[in-house]
Chain A
Amino acid sequence: MKLEQLKIIQTLKDHDPVELPMDDMFFNQLHGRIMKKVDKTDIKEAHRWSKTWVFLENTAKAQRSNPRR
């Protein structure tokens, strides 16, 4: 990798604009909020075609990325 690219990456890391709350209480509250919703939610059964769909999708993707095949 070129030095200039490394400099850009390092500068981005040094000036990371995202600041997360550090206190545990914040994350406990977020966790509680999420689990409250999860308690009211059910796991949906996978659609009978989902596996076929995923297979077809992946095959299509592979062909698109390598059109010579």
Chain B
Amino acid sequence: MKREIDSQLGTNLIEKSDLQLVEEVRSGLKASFSELVKRHQKGLLRLSMRFVKDLDNAQDIVQESFIKSYEKLSSFEGRSSFKSWLYQITVNTARNRLRENRYDFSDIENVQIGIEAVAEKNLVHRAVGDILNKEVEKLPFKQKTALVLRVYEDLSFAEIAAIMECPYDTAKANYRHALLKLKEALDDKHELKTWTHEVGGFLTELNTKYLEAE
């Protein structure tokens, strides 16, 4: 009987907002939670993959986050969006997982940039991209979280602050420090600087792109 009701309600679940679905779950409709999982599982998986690099671990984090959110649903007050709340749980779960497993998220060797001088511009970009990605892995957890949420998830600082459970200014400061560290890391790569200069300057294409945009 309950399943029949669930399936009838399932037809218009897609049109409902997250908060409406949360209310339905609280009143006992698990089908509404199923819709919430469908909506957010991809985003949570992407976020988890930023902290643990393998898909299996990331899936475990997503699963654990949804279970925690389901258990704690009665304490969700709707002061932030459901998505922010879920992201907050996922970030905390990922951090705990990293601590428990002492997950090696700083598996960094000195970056090899001694590629042949005949390298083309796209290779330069790739090398810079690789360096940046490796430097991101070295960042402290809070700075990395702020950076990931801002750069890849396009979230506002207010949302990031809600997810990180910190004041707005702290979220912003973490993000700025992260960017500063990345910039310093690039500045330290003297070889890369001279090398990129030889093939047309540091990130010439990007420079042009942004100058055009301005």
Contacts and interface: CB of A to CB of B under 8 A. Distances in A.
B26 A43 contact: yes
A38 B31 CA distance: 11
B111 interface: no
A11 B70 contact: no
Interface of B: 25-26, 30, 33-34, 37-38, 41-42, 45-46, 49-50, 55, 59, 62-63, 66-67, 70-75, 77, 125-126, 128-130, 132-133, 136, 151-152, 165-167, 169-170, 179, 182-183, 186, 203, 206-207, 209-210
A62 B75 CA distance: 21
A25 interface: no
Interface residues of A, number: 39
A22 to B, nearest CB: 10
Contacts, number: 117
A30 interface: yes
A5 B71 contact: no
List the 4 closest pairs (A to B, CB-CB), nearest first.
A15-B129, A65-B167, A46-B74, A18-B49
Contacts of B210: 3, 6-7, 10
Contact of A18 (B50, B66, B73, B169): B50
A12 B30 contact: no
A33 interface: yes
Given A3-B210, A20-B46, A44 B66 contact: no
A66 B117 CA distance: 53
A7 B201 CA distance: 13
Nearest to B68: A41
The majority secondary structure among interface residues of chain B is helix
B151 A13 contact: yes
Interface of A: 3-18, 20-21, 27, 30-31, 33-35, 37-39, 41-47, 50, 54, 61-62, 65
A12 B70 contact: no
Contact of B37 (A11, A15, A16, A35): A35
A50 B75 contact: yes
Given A5-B179, A39-B30, A15 B126 contact: yes
A38 B67 contact: yes
B50 to A, nearest CB: 6
Contacts of A61: 165-167
